[in-house]
Structure formats: C-alpha cells, structure tokens
Structure 1
Amino acid sequence: MRIARPPPRTPPETIIALIDVVFFLLVFFMLIGRMDATAPFDVTPPTGTTGSDMPAGGVTLSVSAGGDLALDGVTVDIALAEQQVAARLADQPDSLIRINAHRDAELRRVLPLIASFEAMGAREVVLVVTPPKVSR
C-alpha cells in the first residue's frame, strides 16, 4: 500500500525582514525628531562678546563669594549700595553699573541687585566675566 504524501506547503513569508525595517524607521525618526518643547515665539540667543574692553565710567559693585558688597572699593551693605547707586543715577542718568561677582557667589545674591538697579532706571547693567582659557 502506498501512502500519498501531502503536497509540500510553501514556506511562510518571513516577517523578520519587516521587523528590522520597522525598527530602523523607529530609530531614524527618534534621531531626527525634536524631543524638546519649542517656544511659541522666535527666540534668538544673545551673542557673547569676549575680549572686548570694559566700558569706562560708571559704578562698580563687587560681590564676594559670601555675599559681601563693595561699591567702588568701599565695603557697604545692600541698603547703602542701593542708596548710593540711586544718587548716582539721579545725578548722571546714563551711568553704567558694573557688577563684579565672585565666581562662587550665589545667583540669588546677584539677580536682586540687577532687578533693583533696573527699577531705579539704570541705562545699562554689565556683568563682569572672565572668558575661558583657550588651549592652543
């Protein structure tokens, strides 16, 4: 007796190649897509100017690492500093105010000074910075 063998089935299509393509597309779109939130308006970051000379004149307020203040080289408290800067701005409204803060000074000690001077009508408040060393 002869037993008939069933006809050979065609092998199923391999889905492995399709999974690879989907994976590569997923990685591609993850790499080119933006993951951060964009602002609802145009934002142009400021341009830094290192190596330019500091503007002459004005008042220099120094802030130590511990938060101590010195106005034009004389140690003062915050109330006296604001009073003297206000008097200077009353006499010379275009006076420049320079803030020379120690690199370890906390930002919470510097920002209120800037806001206070701008509220007094300061034309320009400049933060003194040290440019990074350029390795050659």
Structure 2
Amino acid sequence: MKLTRRTPNPQSETIIALIDVVFFLLVFFMLIGRMDATAPFDVTPPQAETGADMPAGGATLSVSAAGDLALDGREVFGAYLESAFAALLADDPDLTLRINAHRDAEIRHVLPLVGRAEAIGFRDVVLVVTPGAAP
C-alpha cells in the first residue's frame, strides 16, 4: 500500500503583520516628531525671576485694567507717552522703567509699551509681577 501525502494548500500571505508594523512606525514618528514650526536658529526662552528684589529707583508706568496709563502717579495719555519718556531720560539716561500692569489688563495694552520704551532709549524695562501662592 502506497500512501500519498496531500500537498498543502499554499496559504495566502497575511498582511496583518505588515499593518502592525506600519501602525507602530506611525506612532513612533508621531511621538518623536515635532508638529510645530521651529525657528531656523536656537531660541532659549527667558527665565522669570520671582521673589527677586525690585530694582531701586527708576520710573513706574502703571497700566489699569482698561488700558489707562499713569507715569509716576500722574495720568498720561498715549500720544504724550514718548515725550514723557524722553523728559525722564534727559534727566537720567540709565533710568530703569518698571511697568506695573493690573492683573486684568490685556496683553495688547502692555506689550507695546515695552517696545515704545526701548525705542525711546530705556535700557532696562522691568515687568512687575506678583508671585502666586506656593503649592
């Protein structure tokens, strides 16, 4: 008696393993890739100094919640701010400017003041902050 073996049917190639590999590669590249635009040069963000002593002397520019300005306790209107800055710098060219903004003041009222102060000639502009409660 002669026994013959059945020839096995060729199995169709499964692509399940290939799908798993592609999925793992996709997850890997999503985790290591950067999704935001990067600058063409190195950018190191500044470090905030909370708890440091306020620099002595200088002028204080106060910003209300509505965006009104007061320079050293006297109300100043935006159009006359540069002339008031120039008058202060004429007396002391190394004067420090402190910007003390209300916590509800919008950033659009505060940030342009820094640029305007630097354009006039202030070398040091300090933003006054209140440190939060320690966790």
Q: TM-score range by the shorter chain?
A: 0.7 to 0.9
SS at match of 1:60: strand
The code of the aligned residue for 1:104 comes to D
Aligned residues: percent identity?
A: 70
**2:60 maps to which residue?**
60
Aligned to 1:3: none
Counterpart residue number, 2:116: 116
Secondary structure in 1 aligned to 2:75? Answer: strand
Q: Distance in 2 between matches of 1:116 and 1:29?
A: 44
Q: What TM-score do the two structures reach when normalised by structure 2?
A: 0.84
Q: d(CA) in 2 for partners of 1:85 and 1:62?
A: 13
The C-alpha deviation readout for 1:92-135, integer Å capped at 9, x for no partner, is 00011111011221222223322222122112111111222221
CA–CA separation in structure 1 for the residues paired with 2:81 and 2:30: 53
Whole-angstrom CA distance in 2 between matches of 1:78 and 1:8: 89
Question: CA-to-partner distance for each residue in 1:6-27, whole Å, 9 max, x for gaps?
Answer: 8541322322122112211221
What value does the CA root-mean-square deviation take over the aligned residues? 1.9
Give TM-score scaled by structure 1 length: 0.83
Q: Which range is displaced more, 39-48 or 73-82?
A: 73-82
Q: Counterparts of 2:10 and 2:84 in 1: how far apart (Å)?
A: 93
Q: CA deviation at 1:59?
A: 0.4
The SS at the match of 2:44 is: coil
CA contact under 8 A between 1:59 and 1:85: conserved in structure 2?
no
Q: 2:103 aligned with 1:96, yes or no? A: no
CA distance in 1, matches of 2:98, 2:34: 39
Distance 1:128 1:37 in 2: 31
Structure 1: 5+ residue stretches without partners:
1-5
Q: Structure 1 residues 24, 112: CA separation in 2 closer, same or farther (over 3 Å shift)?
A: closer
